[in-house]
Structure 1
Amino acid sequence: MRRRNWIAVASAEHARRGCAASIGYMQVGHGKLAPLKRIAAGDRVVYYSPTVVFGANDHFQRFVSVGIVQPGVPYAFDMGNGFVPYRRDVAYVAAQEASILPLLDQFEFVEDRQRWGYKFRFGLFEVNDHDMRLIARAMQADLVQLGLHIQAV
């Protein structure tokens, strides 16, 4: 079975919360279920954060966390005050936050350099192994743990 690669979008504050938990998790689209159904166990996910705090305009523009989606289905989680988002469990690997800016000209998913941020508006989108490997290297993540150490020929 082929592993897929996903870029999820959230503020750094929210993305960091997911990888700091005892059992890592991901949420996308303000807790929507449908996007999480597209993701399978074994897929890789990296969080891109346009801002540090949700709703801010601070141009953070960094990859914050990277990991592997764990077995199981999306599940509802009560965060209080009537907010019950859907989550998937993720095993995050040790990584450093990394700016997207030096990578823009190397990404295959960037079709138009002037509009590179367009795809991020969807909150979750798929990228190929080449692009995920670029991100993981920039984050100094363990490529073996992520299953990205062997390049396809």
Structure 2
Amino acid sequence: MTQFWVGVVSGAHVQRGVAGGFAQVCHGKAHELRRMRPGDGFIYYSPRTEMMKAGRVLQQFTAIGYVTSAAPYQVQMTPAFRPFRVNVAYIPSTPAHIQRLKSHLEWTSATKSWGLVLRRGHFKISEADFLRIAAAMGARLDEKKLEKEARTPELQGSQ
């Protein structure tokens, strides 16, 4: 069954991921990425342009796509840093500010402390929220692809 995810990283990291066709979350840890399967929807949310409270405030959904790799893989960025990634086919889109959407999303309208969810760095959202965010980003999703993937037996058995 197709699932939908949000990864929280800086705008600069989103640009690298989109350019390279990958997603990396939670400082490169594999655990969160292992929950994702091929065909799952993925959205990046960027609180700022740079990490660690540097850069300007964004508070935007900054990229959207579908997971394409079956499992996380590790890359060596420096001798001391070997993060895990999954491949993502990104869809052309424009950033969407969370303030425009928060009263319409299930995970933000359900509680006043919705921002705490973002601190997790990676979390599941509903298909309805994924579609609302995609629409706000102007992403043209293939609805038939979504329906087909939701019924694909090999994806359903890999939860």
Q: TM-score, normalised by structure 1?
A: 0.89
> Which residue pairs with 1:97 in the alignment?
95
Once the 2 structures are TM-superposed, how far is the Cα of residue 10 of structure 1 from its aligned partner? Answer: 0.2
Provide the secondary structure at the position in 1 that maps to 2:134. Answer: helix
Q: Flag the 1:119–1:18 CA change in 2: closer, same or farther, 3 A.
A: same
Equivalent pair of 1:129/1:148 in contact (CA under 8 Å): no
| Secondary structure of the corresponding residue to residue 136 of structure 1 | helix
> Shift of residue 41 of structure 1?
0.7
Partner of 1:19: 18
- Percent of pairs with identical residues: 35
Partner residue, 1:3: 2
Provide Cα deviations, 1:50-77, integer angstroms capped at 9, x if missing partner. Answer: 0110012533100110000003211110
- AA aligned to 1:49 is S
The match for 1:122 is 120
Give the distance between the partners of 1:146 and 1:93, measured in 2 at CA.
15
Distance 2:41 2:64 in 1: 7
Could you tell me how far apart the structure 1 residues matched to 2:41 and 2:86 are?
12
Task: State how far apart, in whole Å, the 1-side matches of 2:97 and 2:10 are.
Answer: 14
Q: 1:70 to 1:135 in 2, by over 3 A?
A: same
Select 1:69's aligned residue among 67, 70, 81. Answer: 67
Matches of 1:83 and 1:18, distance apart in 2: 16
Shift of 1:131: 0.4
Task: Tell me the secondary structure at the aligned position of residue 135 of structure 2.
Answer: helix
Number of equivalenced pairs: 146
Question: Which residue matches 2:29?
Answer: 32
Task: Give 1:148 deviation, angstroms.
Answer: 5.5
CA distance in 2, matches of 1:87, 1:14: 12
In 2, are the aligned partners of 1:31 and 1:84 still within 8 Å (CA)? yes
Q: Which residue of 1 aligns with 2:141?
A: 143
Q: Deviation of residue 81 (structure 1)?
A: 4.0
